[in-house]
A and B are shown apart, each in its own frame.
Chain A
Amino acid sequence: MKRKLALFLALIMVFSVFAFGCAKTEETPEEVAAEEEETDVVKIGVFEPMTGANAAGGELEIEGLKLANKLYPEVLGKKVELVIVDNKSDKVEAATAVRRLVDKEKVSIVLGSWGSSFSMAAGPVVKEAQVAAIGTSCTNPLVTLGNEFYFRVCFIDSFQGVVMARYAYEEAGVKKIAILQEISNDYSVALAKFFTDEMVRLTGDEDAIISVSSYNTGDQDFTAQLTNIKNSDAEAIFAPGNFIESALIMKQAKELGMDLPLLGADTWETPEVIDIAKEAAEGAVFSTFFDSEVPLTEETTTFLEAYRAEYGADAEPAAVTALAYDAYLVALDAMERAGTTTDTVAIRDAVAATSMFPGAAGIISLDENGDAVKSAIIKVIEDGKFKYKATVEPF
């Protein structure tokens, strides 16, 4: 009885493979094209971490994308549909997710992701499929380097690392610093490197970086690394990394009785940092993309009004929410200029030509690598809130 059942199941499987294969070969290219012409829906693929270590970041970006989709639901007379898939905060899953978007969903363009590692994993897939991708807040230079199909609406780490080093040296007057990096995160390692180079250049001191210690994504105990730093003569800690670990670092530094200034980067602008670290987060300084107190363009106002209508009058959008919103706008703008929603290569060329586009998080001009050149904003955590400190222009 069992054997018969097994045989039956095996046959079903074999036939289903055939059925699948045949269905694919039956469609001629013309038929495929005709099918695409008929649909009046434009699919925009989104891959973001919705679960796992970076879920909060992904959720904030999806908020921005949905808001943009609500305000601008159409392009070239067609309805825009967001196809959102979860990359599970995992490099391998990210590549699979994008593969699904381009192969199965046949999206016109891909948006995402929070986290450079995931965007870098997805890079070869979009390049091979010849579908353009617009990164939202992936800041590692390698995301777009050598990949003519990847773009982004945020600035890159070589800029951000330099901004923080200058802040540390010029504003905070720090000459000796300890670095605490997330070794398994490309974003963190790159930031640490650019920061180190600039710090050494500014101080003219090869030993300006007292120590470099590391941790892994998902670690929860940093007391050993922090104890080492506490007993060195570091004047500050530069700890770029994912916000969850960073929040625990702030908390444990405080518990160890350390009062060194903590410097970080854009991931820190996540409400969870303040929720988890509480008063230990006070005084932490980081660079970011956007601030609602300083509207950068008219689009900023539109975005803020829409955001507050959706999430309450005193809701504060995160920088990455604005960036994701901008990525959507740039995608729509490119399709309009290209005059097509199906020719992915023409759309890619139009994205590459984006210049002086007014987004919610500043004016976007893409350089020859496909990176946005725009100003950085420095913020500090004060009284349990993110406060604007300064704007740094690109150099």
Chain B
Amino acid sequence: MSIQTFMQHMVNGISLGSLYALLAIGYTMVYGILRLINFAHGDIFMIGTYIAFYGMTAFLLPWWAAFILALVLTAAFGIALERLAYRPLRRSPRISIMISAIGASFLIENLAIVLFGGRPKAFPIAPVFAKIFKFGGVSVVSIQLIIPVVTLIFLAILVYIVNHTKTGMAMRAVSKDYEAARLMGIDVDIIITFTFGMGSLLAAVGGVLWVLKYPQLTPLMGMMPGLKCFIAAVVGGIGSIKGAVVGGFILGLGEIMIVALLPSLTGFRDAFAFVLLIVILLVKPSGLMGKTTTEKV
């Protein structure tokens, strides 16, 4: 393989990996606070892309306004979902809330089919995201440069919030033990609402970047990315924000490299993700950057 080809594969892998990373952060945040795997995360991502799409096509907003609208409304959607589907079950066994999440996921998908129709829609792309640059033999589209930058910015913001603000301190407290946190005067409900809002906002950012790269929308588009990002979060160590980013990059680069280095296995790249998940669960169940926790009895 020439160095050029290798560089091209790296560029492709990094841009795919950072998309996975961005979505995995949302997963990991919600899990970190609530110990809940939010199966509807992929569907929140899908809702975000449709809001941006209709903002641009039906309400004729400029792209940046449509994107901001998508972020705000998707965050609101995530918060509403938590109120309706998860909060009433907070004192029930953990399995109930998980089943509720799966149910919510199916409900949102089918609702989207009814509302938006099953036919795929083409996402309009502003020219600024579609510029093609050539560095030697390596071509890079502007969106491929934007994605990793946005991911790193959001990573920095989140790490700052969690480690250096009062809200972040409250989040960490709630994640340790929310009964004790409540006794210390923390409003647990507000912290959880904030977490869901942030998680959903990240899903919307990921969604918008995703359709700028792969410009088609379907009601079931969130399923596969949702699953992949869940795997990325587990590989990195679910609950750890930096772990999610590392997991996302490993998954994205791994997928591209398996096609690049073993061309005969091109049909099996999804299998790679699952094999990676199984290996991690066997070797280091807490993930690469996760902490082993002992259950209190």
Interface residues of chain A, those whose CB is within 8 Å of chain B, are 49-53, 55-56, 58-59, 183-184, 211, 213-216, 218-221, 223-225, 227-228, 230-231, 244, 247-248, 251, 255-257, 272, 275-276
Taking A215-B267, A220-B214, A248-B216 as contacts, is the C-beta distance between A227 and B260 under 8 angstroms?
A: yes
Contact with A along B234-264 (1 / 0, CB 8 A): 0000000000000000000001110110010
Check A276 against B267 for contact (C-beta < 8 Å).
Answer: no
Residue of B nearest to A220 (CB): B214
A278 → chain B closest CB, angstroms: 8
Contact with A along B84-119 (1 / 0, CB 8 A): 000000000000000000000000000001000111
Cβ of B4 within 8 Å of any chain A Cβ, yes or no, is yes
Which one, A221, A228, A272, contacts B214 given CB within 8 A? A221
Q: List the one stretch of B5-13, B66-74, B174-182, B199-207 in contact with chain A.
A: B5-13
Residue of B nearest to A51 (CB): B118
Which one, A51, A213, A227, A272, contacts B5 given CB within 8 A? A227
Q: Which residues of B contact A275 (CB under 8 A)?
A: 121-122
Residue of A nearest to B144 (CB): A255
Check B132 against A257 for contact (C-beta < 8 Å).
Answer: yes
Tell me, in angstroms, the Cα distance from A146 to B16 when the chains sit together. Answer: 45
Check A272 against B267 for contact (C-beta < 8 Å).
Answer: no
Residue among A49, A224, A244 with the highest chain B CB neighbour number at 10 A: A224
Tell me, in angstroms, the Cα distance from A213 to B4 when the chains sit together. Answer: 20
Check A211 against B263 for contact (C-beta < 8 Å).
Answer: yes
Cβ of B155 within 8 Å of any chain A Cβ, yes or no, is no
Check A228 against B119 for contact (C-beta < 8 Å).
Answer: no
Number of interface residues of B (CB under 8 A): 38
Tell me, in angstroms, the Cα distance from A272 to B120 when the chains sit together. Answer: 7
Check B267 against A244 for contact (C-beta < 8 Å).
Answer: no
27 example contacts (A-B, Cβ-Cβ < 8 A) are as follows A51-B113, A52-B220, A55-B120, A59-B118, A213-B259, A214-B267, A215-B266, A219-B270, A220-B214, A221-B16, A223-B8, A223-B12, A223-B16, A224-B12, A224-B256, A224-B257, A224-B260, A224-B269, A225-B263, A227-B8, A230-B5, A231-B5, A244-B120, A257-B134, A272-B216, A276-B120, A276-B122
Q: Which residues of B contact A55 (CB under 8 A)?
A: 117-120, 218
Check B118 against A50 for contact (C-beta < 8 Å).
Answer: yes
Taking A244-B216, A257-B132, A276-B122 as contacts, is the C-beta distance between A216 and B270 under 8 angstroms?
A: yes
Cβ of B78 within 8 Å of any chain A Cβ, yes or no, is no
Tell me, in angstroms, the Cα distance from A211 to B264 when the chains sit together. Answer: 9
Check A256 against B139 for contact (C-beta < 8 Å).
Answer: yes
Which one, A216, A227, A231, A248, contacts B267 given CB within 8 A? A216
Taking A52-B220, A211-B263, A231-B4 as contacts, is the C-beta distance between A276 and B118 under 8 angstroms?
A: no
Q: Which residues of A contact B119 (CB under 8 A)?
A: 55-56, 59, 272
Q: Which residues of B contact A276 (CB under 8 A)?
A: 120, 122, 215-216
Q: Which residues of A contact B293 (CB under 8 A)?
A: none
Residue of B nearest to A224 (CB): B259
